[in-house]
Structure 1
Amino acid sequence: MFVPKYLVNCNAYQPSFQFPLCFSYEDVVEKDDISRTVKEVVEEVNIFKYIDFSQNNAHGYDAIQMFEAVILAFAINGYASLRDLEKLCKYDIRFKFIMNGSTPSHMAFERFIKDKLTMPIEDIFVDINKYIEAHDVIDTEVLYIDGTKFEANANKMTFVWMKATKKFREKR
């Protein structure tokens, strides 16, 4: 066997240094982040209304954490595909905080939504929004319909949207 000249006196042993990765996601996520709000709200609501705990599967993911991840994705994006949920759990620190470091696949989310949720996610999200509105100080008198951006000259678009806003409020 031919051994190159520069490898004659080499030692194959290379020391490895373990970087300690035991840290808590509690320290990383800010105190006023939406992920903490989602965790608090899910702890307060009747979770048995939304998740079917009658049959357990052996896939190993906590149903409450999966529920929190789905609600957080819906709150942030308005919609998240199953593959987006998988990517968020791998790379987003807020989802790592919610899932306690585990990274479910898109199929795990699909099984959870199909088998465990008792109602559509949109209805669950509406119920949770009503719960937040009832238990937190949220000013419901402020109504944003059009989705326009706020600019330095705030009265710039009032002639366009003011009539429509007043008409909508009268119809409510």
Structure 2
Amino acid sequence: MSEKALTLKQSGVRWLWLAILIFIADIGIKFLVMENMGYGWANRIEILPFFNLLYVHNYGAAFSFLSDQAGWQRWLFTGIAFVVSGVLTYWMSKLPATEKWNNSAYAMIIGGAVGNVFDRIVHGFVVDYLDFYWGNYHWPAFNLADAAICIGAAMIILDGFRKKENTGA
């Protein structure tokens, strides 16, 4: 039994506009932060009683995972991001463009991954600038790319709980 191949226009690849939008917004915000803020916690800007803007470098992955290593992690995380982005783009090519939930989730992950890869390649670190906290406990600083990746991943997990239509197959 063979399935009819989707054309580029019919496939979820059309949703890559969202990845491009996230990438551009992420890089733009990071540029503004780097150009207009002093580095480090001492230069944070208090916005709300639970939220600061700041400028810090992350040499690792999420929550500074492996940030204390000698630099090899930069290329490991870059490679992982390229592989994941490639796989998700392939999956998008197999989904119809009308499958908005999964295509947007995949695009969010791709946009965030490429935004952080850009930082790793150009700067050797990822720029983080969002600091949420409660009392003296600060969640690890993150950025728009990280948020897009987390939201996209949560959407994929939630999709596993959504009721699927029975196609009769």
Task: Assess same fold via TM > 0.5.
Answer: no
Range class of TM-score, shorter chain:
under 0.3
Greater strand percent: which structure? 2
Relative contact order higher in (CA < 8 Å, ≥ 6 apart) = 2
Larger Rg: 1
TM-score, L = length of structure 1: 0.24
TM-score, L = length of structure 2: 0.25
